[in-house]
Amino acid sequence: MDALSPEIWTAIRLTVELATVTTVLLLIVGTPIAWWLSRSGSWWKEAVAAVVALPLVLPPTVLGFYLLVLLGPDGPGGRVASLWGARTLAFTFPGLVLGSTIYSLPFVVQPIRNAFAAIGPRPLEVAATLRASPRRAFWTVAVPLARPGFLTGAVLGFAHTVGEFGIVLMIGGSIPGQTKVLSVAIYDFVETSHWGEASILAGGMVVFGFAVILAMMLLEKRIGQSGV
Amino acid sequence: MMTDTVEVAFTGTIGAFSLDAAFTVPATGVTALFGPSGCGKTTTLRSIAGLHRIGSGRCVVGGDVWQDGDSFRPAHQRPIGYVFQEASLFAHLSVRRNLLFASRRGAATGAIAFDDVVGLLGIGAMLDRSPQHLSGGERQRVAIGRALLSQPKLLLMDEPLAALDHATRDEILPFLHLLHTTLKLPIIYVTHDMAEVEHLADYLVLMSSGRVVACGPLAALQSDAALPLAARRDATVSFDGTVGNYDTSYGLLTLHVAGGSFVVPSAWIAPGTRRRVQVAARDVSIGTSPAESTILNALPARIISRSPAGEYELVVVLGLGIDGNGARLLARVTRQSWDRLGLAVDRAVYAQIKGVALT
From first to last of its 228 residues, chain A has per-residue pLDDT tens of 456 788 888 989 999 999 999 999 999 999 999 999 999 888 899 999 999 999 999 999 999 999 988 888 888 888 888 888 778 888 888 889 999 999 999 999 999 999 999 999 999 999 999 999 999 999 999 999 999 999 999 999 999 999 888 888 888 887 888 888 889 999 999 999 989 889 999 999 999 999 988 988 888 787 766 544
Same domain, B41 and B148: yes
Q: Tell me if B91 and A125 make a contact (CB, 8 A cut-off).
A: no
Same domain, B88 and B111: yes
Is the pLDDT at B149 greater than 50, yes or no? Answer: yes
Return d(Cα A186, Cα A166) in angstroms, integer. 13
**Cα B228 from chain centroid?**
17
Find the radius of gyration of the CA atoms of chain B: 23
Choosing among B82, B83, B92, B98, which should be mutated to test the A contact, i.e. which has the most A CBs within 10 A? B92
**What is the sign of the dihedral through the CA atoms of A209, A210, A216 and A220?**
positive
Same domain, B126 and B174: yes
Q: Tell me if A134 and B76 make a contact (CB, 8 A cut-off).
A: yes
> Which whole number is the average pLDDT over B69-89?
93
B194 touches chain A (CB under 8 A): no
> Which whole number is the average pLDDT over B123-134?
93
Same domain, B62 and B153: yes
Asked which of B204, B231, B258 is the last residue of a domain, the reply is B231
Structural domain count of chain A? 1
Residues 80-109 of A with CB under 8 A from B: none
> Which whole number is the average pLDDT over B85-91?
93
- The per-residue pLDDT for range B168-197, each reduced to its tens digit, is 888 788 888 878 777 788 999 999 999 899
Nearest to B117 by CA among B135, B133, B132, B95: B95
Judging by beta carbons within 10 Å of its beta carbon (0-12, 13-18, 19+), is residue B310 exposed, middle or buried? exposed
Same domain, B176 and B246: no
Nearest to B329 by CA among B264, B263, B260, B275: B260
B92 touches chain A (CB under 8 A): yes
In sequence order, what are the residues at sequence separation of 6 or more whose Cβ sits closer than 8 angstroms to the Cβ of residue B62? B3, B4, B5, B6, B27, B153, B154
pLDDT at B329: 93
Is the pLDDT at B268 greater than 50, yes or no? Answer: yes
Q: What interface predicted TM-score (ipTM) does this complex get?
A: 0.85
- Residues from chain A contacting residue B91 (CB–CB below 8 Å): 145, 227-228
What residues form DSSP beta bridges with B334? B313
Same domain, B189 and B309: no
Return d(Cα B258, Cα B174) in angstroms, integer. 26
Domain of A62 in residue numbering reads as 6-226
Domain of B291 in residue numbering reads as 236-358
CATH number at residue B183: 3.40.50.300
- Residues from chain A contacting residue B157 (CB–CB below 8 Å): none
CATH number at residue A106: 1.10.3720.10
Residue A35: its H or E element: helix A6-39
A118 touches chain B (CB under 8 A): no
Q: Tell me if A145 and B90 make a contact (CB, 8 A cut-off).
A: yes
Residue A107: its H or E element: helix A93-119
Whether residue A135 is contained in a domain is answered as: yes
The structure's pTM equals 0.86
Return d(Cα B107, Cα A44) in angstroms, integer. 44
Same domain, B21 and B169: yes
- Residues from chain B contacting residue A127 (CB–CB below 8 Å): 76, 101
Whether residue A220 is contained in a domain is answered as: yes
Lowest-pLDDT range of A2-11, B50-59, B122-131: A2-11
At B159 the three-state DSSP class reads coil
> Residues B155, B190: contact at Cβ < 8 Å?
no
Whether residue A177 is contained in a domain is answered as: yes
Same domain, B66 and B82: yes
Whether residue A103 is contained in a domain is answered as: yes
Is the pLDDT at B78 greater than 90, yes or no? Answer: yes
CATH number at residue B262: 2.40.50.100
At A222 the three-state DSSP class reads helix
**Cα A198 from chain centroid?**
24
Q: Rounded to the nearest 5°, which phi and psi values hold at B271?
A: -60, 145
Strands (E), B64-147: 64-68, 71-72, 80-83
pLDDT at B84: 95
Of A129, A137, A227, the CB nearest to B80: A129
Nearest to B204 by CA among B1, B4, B23, B357: B23
Asked which of B231, B258, B288 is the last residue of a domain, the reply is B231
pLDDT at A116: 96
pLDDT at A3: 62
> Which whole number is the average pLDDT over B130-155?
92
A227 touches chain B (CB under 8 A): yes
Whether residue A1 is contained in a domain is answered as: no
**Cα A84 from chain centroid?**
26
pLDDT at A179: 85
Is the pLDDT at B1 greater than 50, yes or no? Answer: no
pLDDT at A57: 93
Same domain, B246 and B210: no
Of A122, A227, A228, the CB nearest to B88: A122
Return d(Cα A18, Cα B300) in angstroms, integer. 92
Same domain, B192 and B283: no
pLDDT at B201: 92
Same domain, B172 and B76: yes
Same domain, B127 and B260: no
Return d(Cα B115, Cα B118) in angstroms, integer. 5
Lowest-pLDDT range of A215-219, B30-34, B127-131, B332-336: A215-219
Question: pLDDT: is B111 or A187 the higher one?
Answer: A187
At B79 the three-state DSSP class reads coil
> Which whole number is the average pLDDT over B301-313?
91
pLDDT at A166: 87
